[in-house]
Amino acid sequence: MNNKNFKFTTNIFSVVFVFILLVSCSSKKEQTSMINGALKVNIITLDNKQLAYTISKEKQIVLDTSLLGIVVNNRSLGSISEIIKQKTTTVSASFPLLGIKNKAIYNANQTSFTLKEKDGFIWNIEFQISPEGVAYRYIVPGEGKQKVNAEISSFKLPNKTKVWYFERDSDWKLKSHAGEWLSADISAMPTVSKMGPIQGLTLTCELPNGGYALVAESALFNYSGLRLKAIGNNTFKANFTEEENGFIVENKVTSAWRCILLADDLNALVNNTMVAALNPAPDPNIFTNTDWIKPGKSVWHWWSGKNVNYKEEKEMVMDAHALNFDYSMVDEGWERWDNKWQSVKELCDFAKTKDVGIFLWKHSKEINFPDNDYAVMRQFLDSVKLTGAVGIKVDFMNGQDKSLIAFDEALLKNAAKRQLMVNFHGCQQSSGEYRTYPNEVTREGIRGLEVNHMKEGPLPATHNAALPFTRYVTGHADYTPIGFTEPGETTWAHQLGTLVAFYSPFNCIAENTQFLLTNKSVQPALDFIKEVPSVWDETLVLPQSKIGELAAIARRNKEDWYVGVLHAREQEQLRIDCSFLEEGEYTATIFTDDINAKRIHLEGLNKEANLRQWNTALPFKKEIQVVNKNSKIELTLASKGGAAIQFKRN
């Protein structure tokens, strides 16, 4: 087929796809089914011979008739397919996590289907069904360059499903995934966004009969990142950045896993680790040990002054030491220093005397050259390693096409070989890569606090109250928490609450370090800021939580517990039931909204601030109580307020 004819074919593909959904799905024939507990997946063939599937849980539909199939080398696989063999095995995994808990345990039934096309071509679909959800992927054999033209995959949700999606009124929406989390009825999704019907992952869905589904992908390697196009009839269709051009895969095509995470409540949703579990285990030849991968908090100069100079970065190291932080993030600008590599080495040598590690920023376009196995990248990483820096922050990938996904993996692999940690910015959300490459200690793919500096900011409280149940479900995020000098509509207690409600193994704190160390209004919380961990052994979502309205998250680190509360409603009372504590007494240090206090004037506190109408902020108050597991803590939450509580075992 010539290029002109192929373009015509792919342009009409969407029309044919919609026709399949709207006309043919009413008649279907079941081929086989898979069951794991209350979950059931039916594989069906429509009257037009198209392969499809449904998912139900406790006999309630989670996904209605949704299509299966992939177009490779202009051949539409799944359009006239026959299952000639299926094999079911069990899959079990147990692995350490740096995040919501210290260990993930995953058990699933895997069924591999061998399919035969009318012309005799053989290919495979693999399904995994676990208590955490359903996932599938395509495996297409072949040699040499194979073009993935499209996927036929679709996801049809029930009527009256409430969909949470991220929105940004610019083309950056699908470049950096840094959008505000909003919700709409499934029926509105084709037209809800000014930027068009294509949404980035993930999508969190509140199901009409209760419970939650979250659409994601996992193990995104050697493939293009999935997007979802709303096409009507409650349906999303697989979409890729390359659109009709497709993308090339060498030899066998193995897609990323298409995941539908399922949870009865928000606690189960937040603790769902299926996305990480579907990723391969780390390569033992690269990760012979992981002692060099150390979670911790970092200082960051950008919030209080975008210009980076050696003197100020040395002062940041001293402030990191004073704050008991582990790292200092040296952002864009260090490459303009005189004798830059020697200067960075001197900074790293000094930082080591303070037990502080240095991360260095780099623009991706300056090292994204695949020639000679990314020789330019490898030379840069060698130079970074020679300075004594411990990690890099690579920025502005601005997309998720296959070439950028290849760059991400090459960077993680080459950094790991040099025992360097990685922070991705200007990138898509996580698909669990941090299991395979545990040196990925954070990534952006989030609308974080830096937006408060920008014209399109600041972040609303509703966005923050949605994040733990949307973006954070699939992995860590570099939100850069704590913005006392520019909190927008939120309160200072709300800002403190983000330290617990959000998580990142490399937790880069936004606020000016000197402001944290010297401001009298902050001092009561300084010990809390110093001590709060960046990773957790256990996480519990408190039952009052509601997406976009209230996030109340309890987390344990060793024997101590913490609670973070992010409130997006008007003033109200909240009771914290302490039954998650172990036996014995704890000292509870409580930071909550000081409802009756004089508001703090923010003008002049941060030269980079763009305060708009939010030029004052409500401070927090500190209270100490001795509590046990039978205690109840009463909080008064201000409008757009919050709380942070530290429970120390007595």
Q: Give Rg (Cα) of the chain.
A: 25
User: What CATH number belongs to 283-445?
Assistant: 3.20.20.70
For residue 145, what are the β-bridge partners? 250
Domain ranges of the chain: 3-277, 283-445, 480-504+521-650
Cβ proximity of 268 and 466 under 8 Å: no
Domain 3-277 -> CATH class: mainly beta
For residue 218, what are the β-bridge partners? 257
Owner of token pair 């010539």: 2
* pLDDT score, position 552: 98
Owner of token pair 């009052």: 544
Q: With a cut of 70, which residues of the chain have pLDDT below it?
A: 1-28
* pLDDT score, position 27: 60
Cβ proximity of 363 and 395 under 8 Å: yes
Q: What are phi and psi of 31, to 5 degrees?
A: -95, -45
Q: Which are the contacts of 211, defined by CB distance < 8 A and separation ≥ 6?
A: 57, 262, 263, 264, 265
Same fold, 283-445 and 480-504+521-650: yes
**Tokens linked to 372:** 């000679």
pLDDT in tens, 101-137: 999 999 999 999 999 999 999 999 999 999 999 999 9
Q: What amino acid is encoded at 634 in this protein?
A: E
* pLDDT score, position 136: 98
* pLDDT score, position 19: 41
Q: Which are the contacts of 364, defined by CB distance < 8 A and separation ≥ 6?
A: 394, 395, 396, 397, 407, 426
Which string of DSSP letters, residue by residue, matches 451-473? GGGSTT----HHHHHHGGGTGGG
Cβ proximity of 198 and 174 under 8 Å: yes
* C-alpha to C-alpha distance for 201 and 218, rounded to whole angstroms: 11
Which residue, 626, 548, 619, 624, is CA-closest to 586?
Answer: 626
pTM above 0.85, yes or no: yes
For residue 515, what are the β-bridge partners? none
**Tokens linked to 71:** 């177009």
Sign of CA dihedral 577, 581, 582, 588: negative
Domain 480-504+521-650 -> CATH class: alpha beta
Strand bridging mode 296-300 / 327-330:
parallel
Cβ proximity of 426 and 490 under 8 Å: no
**Tokens linked to 557:** 């680190």
CA angle 598, 602, 605 (to 5 degrees): 130
Q: In this structure, what DSSP letter does residue 21 have?
A: H
